[in-house]
């Protein structure tokens, strides 16, 4: 059974999408757009993600007009499977 914490991976993925969107803009413009300050924008660009929750990164993406979806896949085997009616 997989017991990896998915949050760090999801944070890295969200941050990498943010970095691509931020690339052509200076920190002042991006900070204003996402509702943060310039040092926080620099933290994202440098990969210092321990200072951010996944919720905050998702909020920043949506403020830049991105759609964010959560995909859940069920295990193919094992005791934890969806109840079929």
For position 19, which CATH number holds? Answer: 1.10.260.40
Count of structural domains within the chain? 1
Question: Both ends of the chain: CA-CA distance in Å?
Answer: 25
Structure tokens belonging to residue 32: 């204003």
Mean pLDDT for 28-34 is 96
Q: What is the mean pLDDT of the chain?
A: 90
Range of the domain at 11: 1-85
pLDDT tens per residue, range 54-76: 999 999 999 999 999 998 888 77
| Dist. CA 85–CA 6, nearest whole Å | 29
Share of the chain above pLDDT 70, in %: 88
Please give the average per-residue pLDDT across 19-36, as a whole number.
95
Q: At residue 1, does pLDDT exceed 50?
A: no
Radius of gyration of the chain, Cα coordinates, nearest whole angstrom: 16
């Amino acid at each position: 059974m997989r017991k990896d914490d998915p949050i760090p991976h999801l944070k890295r993925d969200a941050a990498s999408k943010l970095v691509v969107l931020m690339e052509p803009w200076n920190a002042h413009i991006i900070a204003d757009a996402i509702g943060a300050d310039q040092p926080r924008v620099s933290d994202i660009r440098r990969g210092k993600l321990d200072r951010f929750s996944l919720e905050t990164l998702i909020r920043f993406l949506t403020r830049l007009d991105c759609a964010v979806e959560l995909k859940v896949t069920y295990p193919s085997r094992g005791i934890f499977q969806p109840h079929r009616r």
